[in-house]
Amino acid sequence: MTDRIHIFDTTLRDGEQSPGCSMNIDEKMRVAHALAALGVDIIEAGFPIASPGDFEAVHRIASEVHGPRIAGLARAAEGDIRRAAEAVKPAGDYGRIHTFIATSPIHMEAKLRMTPDQVVERAVAAVKLARSLVPEVEFSAEDAGRTEMDFLCRIVEATIAAGARVINIPDTVGYMTPQEFGGRIRELIERVPNSHQAIFSVHCHNDLGLAVANSLAAVENGARQVECTINGLGERAGNAALEEIVMILRTRADRYALQTGVDTRKIVPTSKLVSQITGMPIQPNKAIVGANAFAHESGIHQDGMLKHKKTYEIMTPESVGWNTNRMVLGKHSGRAALKSRYEQLGVELDDERLIEVFNRFKVLADKKKDIFDEDLMFLISEDAGEHDERIKLISLHAASGTGDTPVAAVELEIQGELHKATGEGDGPVDAAFKAIKSLVEPNGKLLLYAVNAITAGTDAQGEVTVRLQDGDRIVNGQGADTDIVVASAKALVAALNKLPNMHARAVHAQYSGV
């Protein structure tokens, strides 16, 4: 369909490659189900050859997530392609292999050490093999933005002839400008004799802040698939942001006259879910999904808004999922009501897990009057993580005051054994961190400590993200509680649980009460 833009979401592949954004399989499944509910056309579920975990994640998504096509990434190499085919096999007719090879002179010479002829030969062989294994093949010319145009036309024509029905033109290093990139797409479609046999796709990086602009320029010149991520996650400066692409096409339908299959009302909940799972906060002034995206402080703006909302709003907050997710659940609500709301949020709970989450819900309901969807999603996160815990926070007591040295006492269960320690610090959070880290090793270098309020009100849960580095490994942990010190301790413990070979120190700190 010429009036349809296919949304190819690569949050689980390219987005996960952002430092510190690694997700476990359960977290990937939650995101994949959310993307399916959002209405994306293709989910790039991972890079199956990269690790057993990546393979398992792609295989499970292909088995359990229905609606979108499920793609696995593969280099133009037989081992990669066969592994990807095995991973996406459960998706049946909805399986896709996305194979790629670099085509720019600098990549061919310095990285691949191959001649242009060899690159074309390898690409054609890869597409033919992939096409023999799965119903649909996508071919990407890595670093197409810096590829010589004659060679790019040659390899595109050859891979379409070999069976690729989606041709992806990535601006891998975010080098191009909209006029250049749009012109490149138009020239390819015009010059390649069999271009009508394939959908042209684009995958733009944001190194110069032009990923969305370049993607739209490509759409204006004939591209009909856009590869993007939730919140613009991705390597380096990230990728084109799905929410921006979709809402531009919707808001400026007068210019583009193109549609997507995305349910825009689910954009904000999906954005928050990805932010929560990856530990990557959303900047307040981020378009569409930032906390300030629909805030009006200027007196002139406020006056206009009171007279007519369209004076300063080109779309409604409700159209993207803001202000539509308040729920009336409290300590008197029952399990049936809780289960029903989770089902509306796209979360299925079996009876055993419902009981566990309901118990957490009741504890939270005793602390705060109103429960929001964001609160519920954090309850699910804590529930999902507890099954893999080697370290658990049993108790925390902290004290601080004007003129006093803040001190914290913690009790942890580490691989089934109880350990206690105290710590002093510049504040109660610092003291709690020092006490916890005195009990475990490795305990990592703290790269990030971030605090956000999950909802409004003085009784709101605080959402804390902690990022640790241990050697080459970077991990995130999240925690939430109405007590920010407790939330911080939970986040640190969650991050420590993700460090490999984490164990109790041989010599433990002396415990004393606070």
Per-residue pLDDT for the chain (514 aa), expressed as one digit of tens each? Answer: 458 999 999 999 998 887 677 788 988 999 999 999 999 999 999 999 999 999 999 999 999 999 999 999 999 999 999 999 999 999 999 999 999 999 999 999 999 999 999 999 999 999 999 999 999 999 999 999 999 999 999 999 999 999 999 999 999 999 999 999 999 999 999 999 999 999 999 999 999 999 999 999 999 999 999 999 999 999 999 999 999 999 999 999 999 999 999 999 999 889 988 988 887 888 888 999 987 888 744 444 444 544 555 565 778 888 888 764 445 577 777 888 888 878 776 677 888 888 888 888 888 888 776 777 767 877 776 655 544 678 999 999 999 988 899 999 999 999 889 999 999 999 999 999 999 999 998 889 999 898 877 666 666 778 888 989 888 788 888 888 889 999 999 999 989 988 888 888 764 444 444 3
> Is the same domain home to 306 and 343?
no
Predicted local confidence at residue 434, as pLDDT = 95
> Is the same domain home to 256 and 310?
no
Scored b (16 or more CB within 10 A) or e, 361-392 reads beebbeebebbbbbbbbbbbbbbbbeeeebbb
> Is the same domain home to 121 and 28?
yes
Could you say which of 304, 322, 340 is where a domain stops? 322
Distance between start and end Cα atoms, the chain: 68
Both tokens assigned to 462: 């605080």
> Is the same domain home to 251 and 354?
no
Q: Give the span between the Cα atoms of 422 and 362, in whole angstroms.
A: 30
Q: Give the span between the Cα atoms of 446 and 285, in whole angstroms.
A: 26
Q: Tokens 């799905």 correspond to what residue?
A: 242
Domain count, the chain: 4
> Is the same domain home to 137 and 74?
yes
449 C-beta neighbours (distance < 10 Å), count: 15
Closest by CA position to 244, among listed 214, 274, 276: 214
Binding residues, by number, are 14, 203, 205, 239
Q: Are 198 and 166 in contact (CB under 8 A)?
A: yes
> Is the same domain home to 223 and 311?
no
> Is the same domain home to 395 and 378?
no
Q: Does 171 fall in a domain?
A: yes
Strand pairing partners for 134? none
> Is the same domain home to 437 and 314?
no
Q: Give the span between the Cα atoms of 497 and 478, in whole angstroms.
A: 11
Q: Does 91 fall in a domain?
A: yes
Q: Give the span between the Cα atoms of 251 and 257, in whole angstroms.
A: 10
Structural domain span for residue 409:
391-504
> Is the same domain home to 150 and 240?
yes
Q: Are 47 and 61 in contact (CB under 8 A)?
A: no
Q: Are 438 and 423 in contact (CB under 8 A)?
A: yes
> Is the same domain home to 102 and 229?
yes
> Is the same domain home to 118 and 210?
yes
Both tokens assigned to 122: 């390898």
Number of H helices, E strands in the chain: 17, 16
Q: Give the span between the Cα atoms of 329 and 286, in whole angstroms.
A: 30
Both tokens assigned to 82: 């066969």
Could you say which of 361, 387, 413 is where a domain stops? 387
Q: Does 251 fall in a domain?
A: yes
Predicted local confidence at residue 383, as pLDDT = 54
Binding residues for Mn(2+), by number, are 14, 203, 205, 239
CATH number of the domain encompassing residue 444: 3.30.160.270
Virtual CA dihedral for 354, 356, 361, 367, nearest 10 degrees?
170
